[in-house]
Amino acid sequence: MSESMPPDPGYFLDNLRTTDPEVYEALAGELERQQDGIELIASENMVSQASLEALGSIIVNKTVEGRPGGRYYGGAEFADRIESLAIERAKALFGCGFANVQPHSGSQANQAVFLAVLKPGDTVLSMALDAGGHLSHGAAPNLTGKWFNPVRYGIDGDGFIDMDAVERLAREHRPKLIICGGSAYPRAIDFAHFRQIADSVGAVLLADMAHFAGLVAGGVHPTPLPHAHVTTATTYKNLRGARGGIILTDDPALARKLDSAVFPGVQGSVILNAVAAKAVCLGEALKPSFKVYAAQVLTNARVLAGALMARGITVVSGGTDTPLLVADLRPFGLTGAEASDSLEAAGLTCNKNTVPGDTQPPAVTSGLRFGSAAGTTRGFRETEFRHIGGWIADVLHAMAASGARDETVERIVCAEVRALCRSFPIYPGLDADAPAGAEMNRAAGS
């Protein structure tokens, strides 16, 4: 070929708004949604501008496989530096000897643990989904439920883990892996007791701290690390970083198995921009200000639980030790699906959630799950969370009284929510070089 392809002069220069207005507009809409609504989904948070920069950085271009210092491709000097920073920070933050920061998600972190310590068909003892467990702990439609033999424990009538049942099921079924930690379990877990049970049957104990890793990092929640053989977490919930997972352990032999379970076991190349952002969030979590944030997340969750209970709403287990809480709507005769739709219309985003003993299907449910992390990140404290509890109660009581969504109440609450959110601004416009985008976002409220 004699003719070379002419370089596209805009390729390295033009911004998204210019080159792809459709995607740009959707992102601008999402920014406005995040700015003007209150985010109460417990698995969400708002990352720092620094994390956003790392996520959108040129390290996305680099492909590496393997671990720092042992890559299969060249040119990995800076990739190694970035991943090593993330690993060292994870170890320092959680006080452990080994960290793998490559899992693309919490589910893949858990998959790697299954691959490292189990054979197909082995028995796993974990928390039932309707008690607050996670899909990746052996739920029927998940790979972990299809290829392994899950046995489930639940919670007692007061909403706490039934440790007698855990002990009995462990003795009866001799699991190879026991998992503690869930997606909708609001209480502190007795990790030492779990370890004792695991040891008594020769099982590996996995603590999945996805929903309290930020509180552990901030020193306001017991740490599972000294008790569990292996601990997994997501980095994007209350830990407040980029989407992804991490795996932590103190056991060198297990660490080697876990590393090869991540790669080449369940993953290929590393998503290095996510790893760079994990390094940034772990660095943020090592700063003293993170302790203040973590303590406020916990306080806010407790204030919200108290505000709901004060208005007659049942909170599973009567409170929380984590950033999340679950409301049981059965006494109101409401489903989680209709209640979450009405709250969303009122500017309060949360998710429907099964409650213990729920007879509604998973797409309907009888509960709602709320989390305090995202609101805390934008600056909400006790006063704001008391208001939020009052608004949730207004919407639910109105619905329960009329048997249908009350659009008047939704409209009134939505206006109040929006007014509060205006006093707690989040990111500026999408693109610093695109004043029209920034204006679009600000104009929407003025």
- Could you tell me the two tokens for 71? 């890559």
Q: Tell me how far, at minimum, the Cβ of 135 lies from ligand PLP, in Å.
A: 8
Q: Tell me how far, at minimum, the Cβ of 245 lies from ligand PLP, in Å.
A: 6
Nearer to ligand PLP by C-beta: 71 or 134?
134
In this structure, what DSSP letter does residue 146 have? H
The reply to whether 182 sits near ligand PLP by the rule CB under 6 A is yes
Stretch that binds ligand PLP, among 106-114, 250-258, 325-333, 394-402 (CB under 6 A): 106-114
The reply to whether 106 sits near ligand PLP by the rule CB under 6 A is yes
User: Of residues 240-259, which lie at the interface with ligand PLP (CB under 6 A)?
Assistant: 245
Tell the residue number behind the tokens 């209709």, with chain if given.
338
Of the candidate residues 34, 35, 45, 105, the single one contacting ligand PLP (CB under 6 A)? 105
Of the candidate residues 187, 195, 211, 221, the single one contacting ligand PLP (CB under 6 A)? 211
What is the distance, to the nearest Å, from the Cα of residue 152 to the centroid of all Cα atoms in its chain? 22
The reply to whether 181 sits near ligand PLP by the rule CB under 6 A is yes
Nearer to ligand PLP by C-beta: 151 or 309?
151
Q: Tell me how far, at minimum, the Cβ of 43 lies from ligand PLP, in Å.
A: 5
The reply to whether 136 sits near ligand PLP by the rule CB under 6 A is yes
Tell the residue number behind the tokens 């059965």, with chain if given.
330
Name 180's bridge partners: 207
Smallest CA-to-CA distance from 155 within 121, 124, 118, 189 is with 189
Task: Reduce the DSSP state of residue 234 to 3 states and report it.
Answer: strand
User: Of residues 108-127, which lie at the interface with ligand PLP (CB under 6 A)?
Assistant: 110
Task: Reduce the DSSP state of residue 286 to 3 states and report it.
Answer: coil
Q: Tell me how far, at minimum, the Cβ of 324 lies from ligand PLP, in Å.
A: 9
| Residues comprising the chain, all counted | 446
Which amino acid is located at 10 in the chain? G
Smallest CA-to-CA distance from 391 within 44, 380, 330 is with 380
Q: What are phi and psi of 433, to 5 degrees?
A: -90, 5
CA distance 97 to 200: 25
Q: Tell me how far, at minimum, the Cβ of 138 lies from ligand PLP, in Å.
A: 12
Of the candidate residues 210, 315, 392, 421, the single one contacting ligand PLP (CB under 6 A)? 210
The reply to whether 323 sits near ligand PLP by the rule CB under 6 A is no
User: Of residues 215-234, which lie at the interface with ligand PLP (CB under 6 A)?
Assistant: 234
What ranges make up the beta strands (E) of 196-259? 204-208, 230-234, 245-249
Q: Tell me how far, at minimum, the Cβ of 369 lies from ligand PLP, in Å.
A: 10
The reply to whether 134 sits near ligand PLP by the rule CB under 6 A is yes
CA distance 244 to 186: 22
User: Of residues 40-69, which lie at the interface with ligand PLP (CB under 6 A)?
Assistant: 43
Q: Tell me how far, at minimum, the Cβ of 103 lies from ligand PLP, in Å.
A: 8
The reply to whether 107 sits near ligand PLP by the rule CB under 6 A is yes
Smallest CA-to-CA distance from 366 within 320, 409, 330, 419 is with 330
Q: Is the CB of residue 355 less than 8 Å from the CB of residue 326?
A: yes
Task: Reduce the DSSP state of residue 310 to 3 states and report it.
Answer: helix
Query: Contact residues for ligand PLP (CB under 6 A)?
Result: 43, 105-107, 110, 134, 136, 181-183, 208, 210-211, 234, 245
